[in-house]
Every structure is written in C-alpha cells, then in structure tokens.
Structure 1
Amino acid sequence: MRIALTTPNGNVGHHLTRMLVRAGIRPLLLTRNHDSIDAELREYVDVAQADSQDAAQVVAATRGVDALYWVDPSVMSEDPLADYARATDGLVAAVTENGIERVVFQSSIGAEKRHGVGEIDGLAATEVALDALGIDVTHLRCGYFFSNLLLGVDALRAGRLTTVLPLDAPMAWVAPRDIAEVAALTLLNREWSGRRVQAVHGPEDLTWSEVGEILTSELGREVVVDRVSDASMLEGLRAAGMPGAMADAVLGMSTGMREGFVPEQERTVVTTTETRLRGWVWEEVVGAVLGR
C-alpha cells in the first residue's frame, strides 16, 4: 500500500512519518522543501515537492498513491479560509484524477458545526468536499493540541496565560503524538470503509484552571490563567503581527465553541488516548521555558 502524507514536519506529521517507517512502510512525504526532511529519514522515505495549495503539484506528486493523510496547512495569511479552499481544491483534484480511494483527514472538534468556528470552518469545508467524492474517508476530529502551549513560551516565562474561554469549562486536550498514533493505525487498517468520523480526545477533559495548576506544578513557578475579553485577545493577536482576517479566524476557533458547545462525538474508549498533559509538560515545556 502506497501511503502519502502532507506536512511531514508538522506537530503530527513528524511522529506519523516515523511510525509508518517503524511499521515497515516507505511513506511518500509531500513537502514544499525537500531539504526540510531530516537526513536520518531520507533512506526510509520518498519525497515529492508539492505545495498543498497548488493543485497541479499535488496531483503530480500523488500519482500511484493508495492512501493519503491530509492536513490543511495553517499559515500566516491575509485570508486563511481562502488558503484552506485552495488546499481542498488540490486534495479533490488529486483524489479524483489519481483514483486515490482512501483518505484520512486531520480535522478538529468544532468542524461538525460547519460554520461559525473561525479557522475550523476551513476544515469543515474540506470534510464536506471529501464526503462528496464517495471514497473511503476518515475525519479525525482532534481536541486542543498540547503543543499550542509552546506558542506561548514567553508568556509562560512571565507566569501568565490568557484565554477567551471560561476557566472552568472542560474540553478535550490531546498530544500530537497520540493523533499520529490514531492516524497510523487508521491508515494501516484495511477493514474500515465508507465515511467515518474518529474523534481524538486525549486522556481527559481539562479546564484552563486545571491546565494552569499542572503548569505551576511542573514548572515550579506560578502560572496564572486569565480570561480576557474577545477584543483584548484580538488586539493581542494583531499586535503580534497577525493579519486582521487571520486574527479573526484564530479568535473564532474559541468563540465558536463557547455557550454550551458539546462535541458531536462523546468521549469513549475509542476516542480516549493515553498521553497525559502533566508528563508531556515535563518532557516538552519545562526545558523550553526554564532553559534546561
């Protein structure tokens, strides 16, 4: 089985590539820059240059592919939803022209709303486009990535995190490696068919207050989580250099899942993965924040 994946250096793709290699698969890595692939991997993988937003490149790179792991690339953009739409066009063209019969798509909790969830609306549109193709497709509805905490290393050093969400509202938090594990198992499993939605919820639902307590404990210094207004968060995103439409889309991912939002998939043994935030913080965050 010929398996291709996009964003092989991403939070999930980095792990997924190595899992497939360990499983005896020689994956095809789609990347804009061949030199970005680790030298240690190159004898175990094939690499094709392809920008996910360029349909012709994606079609050319995926000829002969049986299964595809697809990620809509999130980039700093003046119009992120238009970027997602271009990536979706490339995906649809590749599946259609190359007869790719199986796709595993990295989606998100919130995509089930279809509209009103900021950047996640782009993922929802990709889900809809894939469903219309009549192929075997699994949408991985992932929780909030642990790795998003690393976007705020400076804030963690200052002992402060901010969110527009209620501090006492639990939500699914998940390690990227756990998503990669579910993705690998799904790609290698030939038994499923049709349209599937597979949530990846991590080991437990956590509130932002609980996350602050875990960070405080593992870092050995107080980390306070403050709830700020939507306007304040938007101002902060724009002050950090984010284009207006991008800032709106990022904020919308949070505001669209307030007010009693309940994920379409309930937490079950099927959706629950193992890596806990406390251990992940010790391994990934402590060194980044404290310089160890």
Structure 2
Amino acid sequence: MTIVVTTPTGHVGSRVVRLLLQAGVRPRVLVRDPARLDPATRDLVDVRTGDMTDTAFVREATAGARTVFWVDPTPHTGTDPNAASERTATGLVDAARAGDVARVVLLSSVGAELRGGAGHIDALGRIEESLDATGADTLHLRCGYFFSNLLLSLDDLARGVLTTQFRPERPMAWVDPRDIGDVVAARLLAEDWKGRVVQGVHGPEDLSFVQVAEILTGVLGRPVRVEAVGDDDVRAALGSAGLPPGAVEAIAGMAASTRDLTPEQPRDVLTTTPTTLAAWAYARLRPMLDEAKGGEAAA
C-alpha cells in the first residue's frame, strides 16, 4: 500500500504522517524542504523533494500510489489564488486520469459545494469537479473553520479582541486540525470506499464567535470581546496592506459568501469530531499567548 501525503509538516499533514507510521505504513511525503520534517520521523518516511506547483514533479512523485492525500498549498495572497490552486492540482488530476493514482483524499472546505462566489474556496470546488471527472475514487473532506486560524490573531487576542468578518451570533462548524488528521488517516487506511464520497468534518459542536470569545475568556483568564468588521472594511484593509485585487477577493470572499451557509453535510456521527475548542486553546493557544506576553515583559 503506497500512500502519498502532501504538506506533511502542516497542522493536518503532520498528524496524518504520525498516524500512518503508527499503523505500520511508510508514507511517501512531498516536501519542498526536507529539513522542515520532524527529525523523529524523517528517516521513517519516503521523502520526495520538489515543488508542488511543478506538474512534472507531482506526476513523478505520485506515480504508482494507491492513495494520495492532497492539500492545496496555495497561499491566499497571490495575484490569482484560485487559478494558482487549479494549476497546482493539474499534476494530480493528470495522474488520476491516467490511472497512475487509484484514489484521492482531498482536503476541501465547507462552502466548496457553492461552486462559485466563495473566494479562494471556489478553487477547492473546481478541484473537486476535476478529480470527479478522472474516474478515480475520490473523497472530499469538507472541513469547518480551523481552531488554528485563531493563531493568526495572536496580537488581537493579546489585547482581548476577537475580530471576525462572520456574523458574531451565528453558529458555525469549528474543528481541530488534529481531528481532521485522524479522519484523513482512517480514510487513507480504509480499503472499502469507492466512487465519489463527500464527508463533512465539523468538530464537536457549532459555535458562534460570541461563544468562542466566552470560551477563550475562560481559558485565558481575561476578557475577550468580539469585534465585527464589514466586508468593505476587510477589503480596504487588505488592499491597503498591498495585496492585489485577486488576493483581496480570495480572502474576503470566503467569509462574505459562507457566513449564512448551512453545510451540505449535516452534523451527525460521521461529521462530528471530539476535541473541544477549550481543550485545544488550553493546549495550543494559551501557551503561545503566554510566551508572547513573557517576551514582551523581558523586552
């Protein structure tokens, strides 16, 4: 069984690699810089070094694989992130169409089902369609909002502010990336799913940003309040930061178009994962904020 894992140093990919190793599988990992791999696992995996935007590299690196776990590595900040994401997936799509890859597990997102108008999420929808057309067995994991997105707001949270473009009072799916990794590993190891499968990964419960702020207040031991920002304000701020128009819409469009979305996959035993936001925040967010606070005091 040959399993390929892309972005093996990311929040999800690193978890997938560890679980596959523990299951007795030596995964083939695609990396730009092998030095970023966990030293404890580096000698236990089959490393293929190259750029995922290089179609020839992806074709060669995935050839003969039973299953590929594909995570789009495209940053939101490019000139045309959606087009870049689709180009990057071309090597995988070609390999699946040629029969060089039997199965693909795609890290997709809630909102990909809209098939348009959802910023950079639209690229995942188009990658879903491209993979579906290859004839390979495909599994699209439509994930909720990552807990780890909060790590991008450390400065604001240190000031007790949780800024959001979403509706503060409306619950939405929040999920721990490690739990996504658990689902991915289980699906990669399972041999009995066929055809086109779509599965939601929604975390333990839907939470509004108001509820998230209340949870973080308890975890951090200091008040955290929600500050809502409008779509135009977000676009203006991104533009002022020097981002090109394509990047501005790729970022702002994700929340603008999904804030009222009910995911296509309902919350049930298949879509619900166990780790709570409070548990994740105690383990990951609080130590990082404490470290940042300690660094400021030392300075």
Once residues 234 and 221 of structure 1 are traced to their aligned partners in structure 2, the CA distance between those partners, rounded to angstroms, is 30
Q: Which stretches in structure 2 are left out of the alignment for 5+ residues?
A: 295-299
Identity among equivalent pairs (%): 46
Answer yes or no: is 1:34 the counterpart of 2:34.
yes
Is this contact kept in 1: 2:141–2:199, CA < 8 A? yes
Residue 168 (structure 1) aligns with:
169
Once residues 18 and 83 of structure 1 are traced to their aligned partners in structure 2, the CA distance between those partners, rounded to angstroms, is 29
1:98, distance to aligned residue in structure 2 (A): 5.3
Residue 262 (structure 1) aligns with:
262
Aligned residues: 291
Is this contact kept in 2: 1:168–1:209, CA < 8 A? yes
Residue 57 (structure 1) aligns with:
57
Q: Structure 1: which amino acid aligns with 2:182?
A: E
Once residues 238 and 98 of structure 1 are traced to their aligned partners in structure 2, the CA distance between those partners, rounded to angstroms, is 43
Query: Where do 1:265-280 residues align within 5 Å?
Result: 265-280=265-280
Q: Which stretches in structure 1 are left out of the alignment for 5+ residues?
A: none
Answer yes or no: is 1:205 the counterpart of 2:241.
no
1:184, distance to aligned residue in structure 2 (A): 0.4
Q: Structure 2: which amino acid aligns with 1:25?
A: V
Q: Structure 2: which amino acid aligns with 1:206?
A: L
Shifted more, 105-114 versus 223-232: the winner is: 223-232
1:239, distance to aligned residue in structure 2 (A): 4.1
Once residues 93 and 33 of structure 2 are traced to their aligned partners in structure 1, the CA distance between those partners, rounded to angstroms, is 22
Q: Structure 2: which amino acid aligns with 1:121?
A: D
Once residues 272 and 157 of structure 2 are traced to their aligned partners in structure 1, the CA distance between those partners, rounded to angstroms, is 27
Once residues 135 and 97 of structure 1 are traced to their aligned partners in structure 2, the CA distance between those partners, rounded to angstroms, is 9
Q: Structure 1: which amino acid aligns with 2:117?
A: G
Once residues 191 and 277 of structure 2 are traced to their aligned partners in structure 1, the CA distance between those partners, rounded to angstroms, is 32
Q: Structure 2: which amino acid aligns with 1:287?
A: P
State the Cα RMSD in Å.
1.3
Q: Structure 2: which amino acid aligns with 1:107?
A: S
Shifted more, 118-127 versus 154-163: the winner is: 154-163
Per-residue displacement from partner, 1:60-93 (whole Å, max 9, x unpaired)? 1112211100011131312101111111212112
Once residues 93 and 281 of structure 1 are traced to their aligned partners in structure 2, the CA distance between those partners, rounded to angstroms, is 40
Once residues 164 and 62 of structure 1 are traced to their aligned partners in structure 2, the CA distance between those partners, rounded to angstroms, is 38
Q: Structure 1: which amino acid aligns with 2:61?
A: A
Once residues 263 and 112 of structure 1 are traced to their aligned partners in structure 2, the CA distance between those partners, rounded to angstroms, is 8
Once residues 10 and 48 of structure 1 are traced to their aligned partners in structure 2, the CA distance between those partners, rounded to angstroms, is 16
Is this contact kept in 2: 1:19–1:184, CA < 8 A? yes
Shifted more, 233-242 versus 249-258: the winner is: 233-242
Q: Secondary structure at the match of 2:88?
A: helix
1:201, distance to aligned residue in structure 2 (A): 0.5
Once residues 276 and 196 of structure 1 are traced to their aligned partners in structure 2, the CA distance between those partners, rounded to angstroms, is 26
1:50, distance to aligned residue in structure 2 (A): 2.7
Q: Flag the 1:64–1:272 CA change in 2: closer, same or farther, 3 A.
A: same
Runs of 4+ more than 4 Å apart: none
1:257, distance to aligned residue in structure 2 (A): 1.1
Once residues 41 and 71 of structure 2 are traced to their aligned partners in structure 1, the CA distance between those partners, rounded to angstroms, is 20
Once residues 287 and 98 of structure 1 are traced to their aligned partners in structure 2, the CA distance between those partners, rounded to angstroms, is 46
Once residues 63 and 267 of structure 2 are traced to their aligned partners in structure 1, the CA distance between those partners, rounded to angstroms, is 37
Is this contact kept in 2: 1:109–1:141, CA < 8 A? yes
